[in-house]
Structure 1
Amino acid sequence: MKIGLDIMGGDYAPKANVLGAIAAHQSLKADEHLVLIGDTQQIKPLLIEQGFDPELFEYVHTDEVIGMGEHPTKAIVQKPNSSIAVGFQMLKEGKLDSFASAGNSGAMLVGAVFSVKTIPGILRPCLTSIVPKLKGGLGLMLDVGANADCKPEFLQQFGILGSLYAEHVMQIENPKVALMNIGEEDEKGNMLSLAAFPLMKESNQFNFVGNVEGRDLFNDKADVIVCDGFTGNVMLKLAESFYVITIKKGLKDEFFDRFNYENYGGSPVLGVNAPVLIGHGISSPLAIKNMIFQSRDMITSNLVGKIQAAFQ
């Protein structure tokens, strides 16, 4: 197994990424190898500084970096030797089993679709986010930003993708899938949710439990919550703010501690032909470590193969 990691992506690169790789290495099996992609002249001195043997990692040297504010499509084309572009080329050629980066999220989405391509039958790939539950355990929300505007068919497919991820990666048996709405009644919602509801209700590919409201995000009514990317991103950013507020107020609470993004790693891009993860731009070493573990779990569960089979 070869897990690709972009060392140059993120606000605290390369140091945070190198430290995260070192931390993850301690828990990886002998056949689970990290491939660090980036400027080796910056990477190896950091490893030596930490007293870590550089020979324990594999490296691919790159001398270009796609900045956080660059135009995604232009940057991928104009910087073919960037860590993101090279990572996706290796993923496409089968030299990596997964690729993760805390860099430019738009470039990661564009790179995933242009390199390993969307799985046949899937209309739009989507981004997911882990959601802590009040009584313990975790749920999943998707889409959280890849598709601000959606068609009803997109949401129905997000239900399939989310259910498969929850079952095979999160180990949730027969996950409950719900549609985010402004009311629980079948006839509630805007044009999108009204059209998506019957599609999801009639699907035999997941356990649909109906509509849920925003107040249900953290309870046990659903394991997987489906929404368009605009709604999902707003809800995600609001949830992230809860943890920041508790820190600023000096409050210590186990539930709100679980809102810390560092605990979960990155956001999987579901619907493409290989495991791809996008980390938070401010990813710390802990977040990078958990993103590596998340990459490993997507590989070992053969999630992409199961999604491909579901859409044949």
Structure 2
Amino acid sequence: MSMLTIALDIMGGDHGPPVILSAALQAIQKHPDCHFTLCGHRDVIEPALADLRADARERVTVSHCEQVVEMGEAPTSALRTKKQSSMRRILELVETGEADACVSAGNTGALLTLAFYVLKTLPGVDRPALVSAMPTASHHKVFLLDLGANVNCTAEILFQYGVMGSVLAEQTAGIEKPRVALLNVGEEDIKGNAQVKYANQLFRNATGINYIGYVEGDDIFTDYADVVVTDGFTGNVALKSSEGLAKLVINEVKRQSRRNLMTRMMARVALPLLKTIYNSVNPDQYNGASLLGLRGIVVKSHGNASADAFYYAIHQAIQEARMRVPEKIKNRIETVLLEQI
């Protein structure tokens, strides 16, 4: 297997370079078959690499960038005035083939705008989609998209999302014939708005995709479907609500276990079980939303991600690069999407 190159935006994120560099060092040590290009200011990056072993340091390139896209900066400003930014550099490395994938925790709107401008979409794809894996009751993953790239989606775009999500589930989770569903306010055919009803017809008329119909919000986590399709507004609300609930459950378990001596003793006995529950719902391990539909691999980390969470985003990028996900999406589009034209 040839060595992959992953480009990392070191300057993005709410917590700045220290957290991103910590995750980068984890990835360098855990993935000896990968080369990493760290994009950002060299004065920030170089000191963090001082303690790396010589063999690991050989797999790291520092790409000096004078500019930083700020977290609150307007996407159009980033496009016009930040041509030397670390965010733009990682995308250009993917566009030229110098990197197989890139990861950023920076400004989401700016990343979407720059990625769309630099990489362009695949033939047959109108708009890219943000997609992420989420846990289910059976410990399988469900892929939810769109998570906020496009607030308003036509039926045709929702259909494209289903095709792309199906390819991602196949290639990164090893799911044969992923079950694709549309998120709706009810399971009956009469429910939903016009674009959801029309998208439902497109899915039912298509070949090569395992469409199972509508699902409601509470079915996202029941392992009813492997891919759940919706517009960016609804998807983002569903994602943030689920993450908030997971954090509430984790914090409540911690609070109750520390309430008194008896609960602390019970918590100690139940510690292995509590760790298993924590690991299954901890949002960190599901960090890393893929921007599907582009001519290259772009993974968006949460801006407030911890070092461990950002590492999971890097791992997602490596998985997609190994499986050549954009190429697989392009092939599927040619056989499924273009037949609808």
Normalising by the smaller structure, the TM-score range is over 0.9
In structure 1, the residue matched to 2:337 is: none
The share of aligned pairs that are identical, in percent, is 37
Q: Does 1:262 align with 2:279?
A: no
Distance 2:48 2:93 in 1: 24
Please show how residues 56-135 of structure 1 align to structure 2 within 5 Å: 56-135=59-138
In structure 1, the residue matched to 2:239 is: 236
The AA in structure 1 aligned to 2:122 is: I
Please show how residues 3-42 of structure 1 align to structure 2 within 5 Å: 3-30=6-33, 32-42=34-44
Secondary structure of the 2:173 match is coil
Secondary structure of the 2:92 match is helix
Distance 2:208 2:156 in 1: 14
Q: Which segment drifts farther, 284-293 or 252-261?
A: 252-261
Question: Which residue, out of 268, 288, 303, partners 1:281?
Answer: 303
Q: Mind listing any 5+ residue stretches in structure 1 that lack a counterpart?
A: none
Please show how residues 210-225 of structure 1 align to structure 2 within 5 Å: 210-225=213-228
Distance 1:84 1:185 in 2: 44
Structure 1 or 2: larger helix share?
A: 2
Please show how residues 177-256 of structure 1 align to structure 2 within 5 Å: 177-251=180-254, 252=274, 254-255=276-277
Distance 1:176 1:24 in 2: 32
Q: Does the C-alpha gap of structure 1 residues 97 and 304 become closer, same or farther in structure 2, counting only changes over 3 Å?
A: same
Indicate if the aligned counterparts of 1:101 and 1:277 stay in contact, CA closer than 8 A.
yes
Deviation of 1:49 after TM superposition, in Å, equals 6.4
RMSD: 1.7
Deviation of 1:257 after TM superposition, in Å, equals 4.3
Question: Which residue, out of 153, 166, 170, partners 1:167?
Answer: 170
The AA in structure 2 aligned to 1:288 is: F
Larger Rg, first or second structure (1 or 2): 2
Moved over 2 A (4+): 46-56, 250-261
Indicate if the aligned counterparts of 1:119 and 1:271 stay in contact, CA closer than 8 A.
yes
Q: Does 1:151 align with 2:154?
A: yes
Q: Mind listing any 5+ residue stretches in structure 2 that lack a counterpart?
A: 255-273, 335-341
Deviation string, structure 1 residues 281-311 (Cα, Å, up to 9, x no partner)? 0111112211111111111101110111122
Indicate if the aligned counterparts of 1:243 and 1:256 stay in contact, CA closer than 8 A.
no
Deviation string, structure 1 residues 15-66 (Cα, Å, up to 9, x no partner)? 1111101111222133x10110001101111233688964441110011110
Distance 1:247 1:82 in 2: 37
Distance 1:294 1:117 in 2: 21
Secondary structure of the 1:9 match is coil
Deviation string, structure 1 residues 174-208 (Cα, Å, up to 9, x no partner)? 11001111111122111221111111111113100
